Amino acid sequence: MTALEVDATEAPPRPWWMERAECRGKSELFFPPPGERPAARENRENRARAVCLACDVLSSCQDFARTQRELGFWGGESEIERAEAGFAPTTPVIGLRRHRSTRTA
């Protein structure tokens, strides 16, 4: 089978735990708007973290996001926190260099 023969309409099944996600309907807290400033990101991620800490499926979600190298805030972790744990997103993490330099200064 070639790439052109793959049935793109067949999406992979959703993980079971997504039906129990506390963040359903709150995507604006978990994914940044274009051009988000650092202070706004920190505020948004703190609010997302509070939602995650009340979520029954945090562990499954965190494992999924790490394995899938997701972007955004998942399982109580930001992209930068996942990268620091050894699970960097497959796309560049904007701000990681700046974040590291402020933590080591």
Catalog residues that contact ligand SF4 under the rule CB under 6 A: 21-23, 30, 51-52, 55, 57-58, 61, 74-76
Closest separation in Å from C-beta 35 to ligand SF4: 23
CB of 43 within 8 A of CB of 49? no
CA-derived radius of gyration, the chain: 16
Closest to ligand SF4 by CB, 60 vs 96, is 60
DSSP-derived 3-state class of residue 77: strand
Closest separation in Å from C-beta 76 to ligand SF4: 6
Residue 29: DSSP 8-state: H
Residue 37: DSSP 8-state: -
Closest separation in Å from C-beta 49 to ligand SF4: 8
Closest to ligand SF4 by CB, 87 vs 105, is 87
Closest to ligand SF4 by CB, 57 vs 80, is 57
Rounded distance between C-alpha atoms, residue 45 and residue 51, angstroms: 10
Closest separation in Å from C-beta 7 to ligand SF4: 28
DSSP-derived 3-state class of residue 74: strand
β-partners of residue 74 are 77
Closest to ligand SF4 by CB, 32 vs 76, is 76
